[in-house]
Structure 1
Amino acid sequence: MFELHASKVTSLKNDVLSGLTVALALVPEAVAFAFVAGVDPLVGLYAAFMVGLITSAFGGRPGMISGATGAMAVVMVSLVALHGVQYLFAAVLLTGVIQIFAGIFKLGKFIRLVPHPVMLGFVNGLAIVIFLAQLGQFKVTNAAGELEWMTGGALYTMAGLIVLTMAIIHFLPKLTKAVPSSLVAIIVVTAIVLFTDLEARTVIDYVRDMTGDASSTLAGGLPTFAIPAVPFNLETLMIILPFALVLAAIGLIESLLTLSLIDELTETHGQANRECVAQGAANTVNGFFGGMGGCAMIGQSMINVNSGGRGRASGITAALALLGFILFASGLIEIIPLAALVGVMFIVVIGTFEWSSFRIMRKIPKADAFVIVLVSGVTVISDLAVAVIVGVIVSALVFAWQHAKHVVVNRSTDENGWTVYDVNGPLFFGAISSFLEQFNFDDDSKDVIVEFKNSRVADHSALEAIDTLAERFKSRGKTLHLRHLSPECKTLLTKAGDLVEVNYIEDPSYHVASDKLD
Structure 2
Amino acid sequence: MLALIALTMFIIEYLPRLTKVIPSTLAAIITGTLITLGFGLEASTVGDMASIQGNLPSFHIPDIPFDLATLKIVFPYALIMALVGLIESLLTLNLVDELTETLGQPNRECIGQGVANTTTGLFGGMGGCAMVGQSIINIKSGGRGSLSGVSAALFLLSFILVGSSLIERIPIAVLVGVMFMVVIGTFEWCSFRLIGKIPPADTLIGISVAVITVFHDLATAVIIGVILSALVFAWQHAKHINASVSTNRMGGKVYELNGPLFFASVHHFQEIFDPKNDPDDVVVDFKNARVADHSAIEAIDKLAERYLKEHKRLHLKHLAPECRQLLKTAGDLVEVNVVEDPNYHLAVDRKDFEEKV
Q: TM-score, structure 1 length as denominator?
A: 0.63
* Native 8 Å contact 1:202 1:334 kept in 2: yes
| Partner SS for 1:430 | coil
Match of 1:174 in 2: 17
Matches within 5 A, 1:209-224: 217-224=51-58
Distance 1:420 1:508 in 2: 19
Match of 2:98 in 1: 264
Of the three residues 114, 119, 123, the one matched with 1:289 is 123
Instruction: Determine if the alignment matches structure 1 residue 487 to structure 2 residue 321.
Output: yes
Distance 1:476 1:198 in 2: 89
Match of 2:44 in 1: 201
Match of 1:161 in 2: 4
| Partner SS for 2:56 | coil
Distance 2:318 2:92 in 1: 43
Match of 2:336 in 1: 501
Match of 1:464 in 2: 298
Q: How far apart are residue 439 of structure 1 and its match?
A: 0.9
* Native 8 Å contact 1:449 1:483 kept in 2: yes
Considering only aligned residues, what root-mean-square deviation do their CA atoms show, in Å?
2.3
Unaligned runs of 5+ in 1: 1-157, 208-216
Q: How far apart are residue 331 of structure 1 and its match?
A: 2.3
| Partner SS for 1:296 | coil
Distance 1:310 1:351 in 2: 18
Distance 1:461 1:412 in 2: 27
Identity %: 60
Could you say which structure has the greater relative contact order, defined with CA pairs below 8 angstroms and 6 or more residues apart?
1
Distance 1:500 1:384 in 2: 52
More helix per residue: 1
Q: Letter of the aligned partner of 1:401 in structure 2?
A: W
| Partner SS for 2:158 | helix
Once the two structures are superposed, residues 180-212 of structure 1 have per-residue CA deviations (whole angstroms, 9 ceiling, x without a partner) of 2112211222333344444433322332xxxxx
Describe the shift of the 1:287–1:443 C-alpha distance in structure 2 as closer, same or farther (beyond 3 A).
same
Once the two structures are superposed, residues 300-323 of structure 1 have per-residue CA deviations (whole angstroms, 9 ceiling, x without a partner) of 233233333332222221111111
Describe the shift of the 1:496–1:253 C-alpha distance in structure 2 as closer, same or farther (beyond 3 A).
farther
Describe the shift of the 1:394–1:459 C-alpha distance in structure 2 as closer, same or farther (beyond 3 A).
same
Unaligned runs of 5+ in 2: none
Q: How far apart are residue 286 of structure 1 and its match?
A: 1.9
| Partner SS for 2:66 | coil
432-441 or 270-279: bigger deviation: 270-279
Instruction: Determine if the alignment matches structure 1 residue 362 to structure 2 residue 196.
Output: yes
Of the three residues 294, 304, 327, the one matched with 2:138 is 304
Match of 1:242 in 2: 76
Match of 1:337 in 2: 171
Of the three residues 225, 245, 255, the one matched with 2:89 is 255
Once the two structures are superposed, residues 375-406 of structure 1 have per-residue CA deviations (whole angstroms, 9 ceiling, x without a partner) of 11111111111111222222222222222222
Q: Letter of the aligned partner of 1:167 in structure 2?
A: F
458-467 or 333-342: bigger deviation: 333-342
Distance 2:195 2:81 in 1: 33
Match of 2:60 in 1: 226
Q: How far apart are residue 167 of structure 1 and its match?
A: 0.5
Of the three residues 350, 362, 375, the one matched with 2:209 is 375
Describe the shift of the 1:164–1:463 C-alpha distance in structure 2 as closer, same or farther (beyond 3 A).
same
Q: How far apart are residue 511 of structure 1 and its match?
A: 3.3
Q: How far apart are residue 278 of structure 1 and its match?
A: 1.8
Of the three residues 277, 285, 310, the one matched with 1:443 is 277
Q: How far apart are residue 288 of structure 1 and its match?
A: 0.5
| Partner SS for 2:77 | helix
Q: How many residues of Structure 1 are paired with residues of Structure 2 in the alignment?
A: 351
Q: TM-score, structure 2 length as denominator?
A: 0.89
Q: Letter of the aligned partner of 2:114 in structure 1?
A: G
Describe the shift of the 1:463–1:248 C-alpha distance in structure 2 as closer, same or farther (beyond 3 A).
same
Describe the shift of the 1:181–1:503 C-alpha distance in structure 2 as closer, same or farther (beyond 3 A).
farther
* Native 8 Å contact 1:407 1:425 kept in 2: yes
| Partner SS for 2:282 | strand
